[in-house]
Amino acid sequence: MSLTQSARAGIRDALGVVKLIAGLVLLVALSWEIIAGDHVHVSRTYLAIQFVVCLVFLCDFFVRWAAAERPGRFFWRNLPFLLLSVPYLNILAWSGVGMTHDWGVLVGLIPLLRAFLAMVIIVRWLVSENRMRRLFFAYIFTVVIFTYISGLVFYDYEVLVNPKLHGFGNALWWAWMNVTTVGAEIFPVTAVGKVFCVLLPSLGMMFFPIFTTYVLQEYTHKKGE
Q: Which residues of 195-220 are buried (b: 16+ CB within 10 A; e: fewer)?
A: ebbeebbebbeebeebeeebeeeeee
Q: What's the domain count of the chain?
A: 2
Say whether both 94 and 106 belong to one domain: yes
What residue type is 56 in one-letter code? V
Say whether both 108 and 192 belong to one domain: no
Q: Please give the angle made by the CA atoms of 192, 198 and 203, to the nearest 5 degrees.
A: 120
Residue pair 116/20 in contact by the 8 Å Cβ criterion: no
Say whether both 20 and 82 belong to one domain: yes
Estimate the crossing angle of helix 131-158 against helix 101-126, to 10 degrees. 160
Say whether both 116 and 207 belong to one domain: no
Say whether both 183 and 201 belong to one domain: yes
Q: What is the pLDDT of residue 155?
A: 92
Say whether both 122 and 213 belong to one domain: no
Domain of residue 204, residue span: 129-225
Say whether both 90 and 159 belong to one domain: no
- Give the separation between CA 81 and CA 137, rounded to whole angstroms: 22
pTM of the model: 0.80
Q: What is the pLDDT along the chain (225 residues), one digit of tens a residue?
A: 456 666 666 676 677 778 888 888 988 998 998 888 777 778 889 889 999 999 999 988 898 888 887 888 989 988 888 898 898 888 888 887 767 777 778 888 888 888 777 766 666 666 556 666 777 777 788 888 889 999 999 999 888 888 888 889 999 999 998 888 777 788 889 888 898 888 888 888 877 777 777 777 766 766 555
For the chain, report the end-to-end CA distance as a whole number of angstroms.
49
Q: What is the pLDDT of residue 106?
A: 82
Q: Which of 105, 126, 147 is the last residue of a domain?
A: 126
Q: What is the pLDDT of residue 37?
A: 77
Q: Which of 82, 108, 126 is the last residue of a domain?
A: 126
- Give the separation between CA 141 and CA 146, rounded to whole angstroms: 8
Q: Which of 126, 157, 191 is the last residue of a domain?
A: 126
Say whether both 27 and 89 belong to one domain: yes
